[in-house]
Chains A and B, each alone.
Chain A
Amino acid sequence: MQFLLDSFHSALLLLWSVDPELVEIVSVSLKVSSSSTLIASLVGVPAGFFIAFREFPGKRLLMTILNTLLALPTVVIGLFVYAFISRRGILGVLNLLYTQKAMIIGQVILIIPIITVFTISAISRIDERYRKTAMTLGANALQTAWVIIREARFAIMAAVIAAFGRVIAEVGISMMLGGNAKGFTRTMTTAMALEYDKGEFVLGVALGIVLLTISFGLNIFFNYIQGRARV
């Protein structure tokens, strides 16, 4: 117990001193996770919108597949992407393995289902009257879609934040595709795993604090925006 308290104390000191290694790890984490969340949102939100609004054959099957993909383990994605981008893979010539791009590819695959599924449920909950109102007021298909997305904005934002939380906290993809190279692909989670392997807890605990603080800050920000809109 004393050991944990000591680590916690040293971790706070490390944070206070703004350790350059720590800053580097945090910035790599944020950069990779934000990129993958942005890309996945650009794909997942329109896809969710389309699936929620259109009837097409195989829609139920697609929904089932998407729901199954919500439970996709990061190591499976790691393995799958590795098979494509390793030197022996068909995309091997691109030299993607152990780069931030490789991590982003894996993370995008991880969270597209999350964003899509939550967008579908957010859009489906929006009252049918919004669509009819926009149309009768003369809106075209795109303007109507915009109205509905605007009404569902908080639920969609929650989906994006959940997805960000998922990628910033995952370790499997970052480790397998990034390789935990110091200064390049070392993220908060891979660094923590490494520190654990070394039996050193100080940096690990410090990173844990940062990770939780980021999530906490994001949620406070989200609540603030939502609260302002409700007044």
Chain B
Amino acid sequence: MLYELNNLKMIYGKRAVLDLPHLSVEAGRIVGLLGPNGAGKTTLLEIFAFLLGPTSGELRFHGKKVDYENNRLRELRRRVVIVQQHPIMFTVTVGKNLEFPLNIRKFPKQKREEVIDELLDLVGMREFKHARAHNLSGGETQRIAIARALACQPEVILFDEPTASVDVENQMTIERIVREINQEKKISVIFTTHDMNQAARLADEIVFLFEGRLAQSTYENIFSGQILPGENGDPYCLVQNTLKLGVNKGNMGPVRIAIDPNAIQVSQTADEPPPPNSFKGRLVQLTEEKNKVRALVDVGVPLSVLISKKELEAMSLGVGSSIWLTCPPESIEII
């Protein structure tokens, strides 16, 4: 196992940012850490990069327990490198940025230029060698940061949201580079993303994180709400003061809920009176997703629903159509 962690906790103040009973990552693969903002993805990645030590619990690297007490972390750091979400360039030229890791590793001077040129070719940025690294765009910076990370000749590269701040063209390039790094250079890759499609495209394995814990799948349609007692005793969850969602169980008070987009039912009309948990909304966006279609429906709050293509055709829905959504209580999970 490349990484193995047991009962790992990371606590800032009183908040547990990470609480992971067990997680293992195999070497040689591309692993995606998927989760919304604040899930603890970056923190976990920095722990994998040996930049942060956990508050408690153990991390094993190639089966060996990481010792945070002694000053041995630099040896480990030299085998793993992280490319941050907004990578920062030293205020020297692109070439000098790439030379930094080589210089630190006392790489023979006469071979440096050759390595730097090769890496710049890999990311398609040879002509930027003498450019000032600070003047690059977001996507270009990201690509140079990848080349700089590769100059460390690591076993593992960790990418934090590799395409969060770049345009579509650069996004494609970066994903291609990540695949090449893994397949041709045999470097293990772990990356974080909040984009399910990217995770599916790129990763051999996906780990779902939510609020510092491992989740079965990624939560969608996440809302903050309040569970209140209903008139007839059945509790309901009030979201944004507009949506009243009947729930099966739950303690009174503020909660966070997630509504499974696969479990929401769609219809064009509703019985009178409408069944519980049914809301009329306006279809505002349709996107293809694998063999299904994702519909974004505004019912006072935006709800994301996955429907089959057949269903969509049968109902002849288009953007702007008004439709009814029914969220069965079992589609609502309190998280």
**5 shortest interchain CB distances as A-B pairs:** A129-B88, A138-B78, A137-B101, A136-B82, A138-B104
Please, which residues of chain A bring their CB within 8 A of the CB of B88?
127, 129-130, 133
12 contacts between A and B (CB under 8 A): A130-B90, A132-B82, A135-B51, A136-B149, A137-B81, A137-B100, A137-B101, A138-B152, A140-B104, A150-B91, A151-B90, A229-B91
By the criterion of a CB under 8 Å from any partner CB, how many residues of chain B are at the interface? 23
Give chain B's interface residues, CB within 8 Å of chain A: 46, 49, 51, 74, 77-78, 80-82, 84, 86-88, 90-91, 100-101, 104-105, 132, 148-149, 152
The answer to whether A137 and B148 touch across the interface, beta carbons within 8 angstroms, is: yes
In the complex, the answer to whether A136 meets B51 with C-beta atoms within 8 Å is: yes
Q: Is the C-beta of A139 less than 8 angstroms from some C-beta in chain B?
A: yes
A138 to B155, CA, bound (A): 13
A151-B148 in contact given A135-B77, A136-B82, A137-B100 (Cβ < 8 Å): no
Q: Which residue of B lies closest to A229 (CB)?
A: B91
Contact B105 A136 (CB under 8 A): no
Determine whether the beta carbon of A139 is less than 8 Å from that of B104: yes
Q: Which residues of B contact A127 (CB under 8 A)?
A: 88
For residue A147, CB closer than 8 A to chain B, the reply is yes
Among candidates A133, A138, A151, A231, residue contacting B84 with C-beta atoms closer than 8 Å: A133
Residues of B within 8 A of A147 (CB): 90, 100
Interface footprint category on A: 10 to 19
| A:95-145 near B, CB below 8 Å | 127, 129-130, 132-140, 143
Known: A137-B100, A138-B105, A139-B104. A129 touches B91 (CB 8 A): no
The reply to whether B86 and A136 contact each other, CB–CB distance below 8 Å, is no
Q: B77 contacts A136, CB within 8 Å?
A: yes
Q: Which chain A residues have a beta carbon within 8 Å of chain B's beta carbons?
A: 127, 129-130, 132-140, 143, 147, 150-151, 229, 231
CB–CB A132/B104 < 8 A: no
Q: Which applies to chain A's interface (DSSP): helix, strand, loop or mixed?
A: helix
Residues of chain A with a CB closer than 8 A to B84's CB: 129, 132-133
A130: nearest residue on chain B (CB-CB)? B88
- Docked Cα-Cα span, A117 to B90, in Å, equals 24
- Compute how far the CA of A149 lies from the CA of B87 in the bound complex, rounded to whole angstroms: 19
Instruction: Determine whether the beta carbon of B90 is less than 8 Å from that of A138.
Output: no
Q: State the CA gap A132–B52 with chains docked (Å).
A: 10
Do B104 and A136 have beta carbons less than 8 Å apart? no
CA distance A73 to B169 in the complex (A): 61
Contact B51 A137 (CB under 8 A): no
- With a cutoff of 8 Å between Cβ atoms, the chain B residues found around residue A150 in the complex are 90-91
CB of A19 to closest CB in B, whole Å: 45
A138 touches B132 (CB 8 A): no
Which A residues touch B77, using CB under 8 A? Answer: 135-136, 138
Chain A residue contacts of B78, Cβ below 8 A: 138
